[in-house]
Amino acid sequence: MTALCEIRGLSVAYPGASVPALDGIDLDIRAGERLAVIGESGSGKSTLACALAGLLPDGARVEGGMRWAAGSPPRPGRDLGFVFQDPAASLNPVLTIGEQVGEGARRHLGLSRRQALSLAVEMLEKVRLPDPGKVAKAFPHQLSGGQRQRVAIAAALAAKPGMLIADEATSALDMVVQAEIVALLDDLVRAAGMTLLFITHDIALASGFADRVAIFRKGALVETGPTRTVLAAPAAAYTKTLIASHRDLATPPLIHEAAP
Ligand SMILES: Nc1ncnc2c1ncn2[C@@H]1O[C@H](COP(=O)(O)OP(=O)(O)OP(=O)(O)O)[C@@H](O)[C@H]1O
């Protein structure tokens, strides 16, 4: 797999911060892979996402950088889609779902209002919302948290970006809905051949579907590798601790324990 983006020596310090949010990161993002960026709160995951999207705040000090295979950085909303933790915050309460899902595509693909609305309904169907025509006419408050996150995914994918960054996209949802949304994301990015950067604090959740994992701690990349390899034989002590903190990953199946 070719590198879609080569990150080399990337350090980011926010204005006034005594320690950098990211410190000398070297990481390749490969075209078409599902890469999970895993780390505890404050480890720099969202900073990495913002750096990739060119959305770091003014005054942030950046060293090193990234090289995109396309030659230029992706345009957020067009080449790069985002799904955040809180769909309520990313959706406008006074616009209909249809308007919001179609908005990015209208702007970036030059669609008419009518074409954008019809694309929105198509996208709402893709994210498996029942009765997409009706949902398109609804407002965000009329939907559940899980449904709103499906809407946010539909909006992020409407302009057909090549890469999707999901930043703690399922963290606010209960476990059943979380699993459904992860399965949906997985299906959609696979079907479209997209690259997925799945940012999470939950190594167990990520290990279910990611091709590779990148483990972050305090702004540093601790370890990266194929998901299975890292889980089976973590190189870093911190990764071992992370795995051990998840009973379902660390505990050997009872059936093996019982065997003679
Ligand atoms: N806009 C900002 N201005 C100043 N400091 C910031 C800003 N955004 C993040 N930080 C700091 O940078 C460090 C890394 O934060 P970041 O949000 O990237 O971590 P994270 O792993 O995504 O955490 P979380 O899972 O809690 O979102 C933290 O110490 C945080 O307080």
pLDDT at 259 over 50: no
Residue minimizing CA distance to atom 24 of ligand 1 = 41
Ligand 1 center from residue 42 Cα (angstroms):
5
Choose the weakest-confidence range: 5-14, 144-153, 220-229.
Answer: 144-153
Q: Is the per-residue pLDDT at 51 higher than 80? A: yes
- As a whole number, mean pLDDT of residues 91-117 equals 91
Q: What is the pLDDT of residue 86?
A: 80
Is the model's pLDDT at 249 over the cut of 90? no
Identify the pLDDT of residue 1.
58
Ligand 1 centroid – CA 141 distance (Å): 29
Q: Would the CB of 217 count as within 6 Å of ligand 1? A: no
> With a 6 A CB cut-off, is 44 part of the ligand 1 pocket?
yes
The residue that leads in pLDDT, 134 or 257, is 134
* CA-wise closest residue to 198 among 223, 171, 159, 175: 171
Q: What value does the mean pLDDT take over residues 189-208?
A: 92
Instruction: Evaluate: CB of 18 within 6 angstroms of ligand 1.
Output: no
Over residues 171-195, mean pLDDT: 89
Tell me what ipTM this predicted complex has.
0.96
pLDDT value of position 105: 85
Answer yes or no: is pLDDT of 170 > 90.
Answer: no
Going from the Cα of 45 to the center of ligand 1, the distance in angstroms, rounded, reads 8
For 137, 142, 161, the CA distances from 147, given in Å and listed in that order, are 14, 9, 21
What does pLDDT average to over the chain?
90
| 253 pLDDT higher than 70 | no
Per-residue confidence at 175, pLDDT binned at 50, 70, 90? confident
Residue 246, pLDDT > 80, answer no
pLDDT at 247: 63
pLDDT at residue 24 in the model:
96
What's the whole-number mean pLDDT along residues 182-186?
A: 91
pTM reported for the whole predicted model: 0.91
pLDDT band at 260 (very low <50, low <70, confident <90, very high): very low
Closest CA to 22 of 53, 58, 59, 60: 60
Per CATH, is 3-258 categorized as 3.40.120.10? no
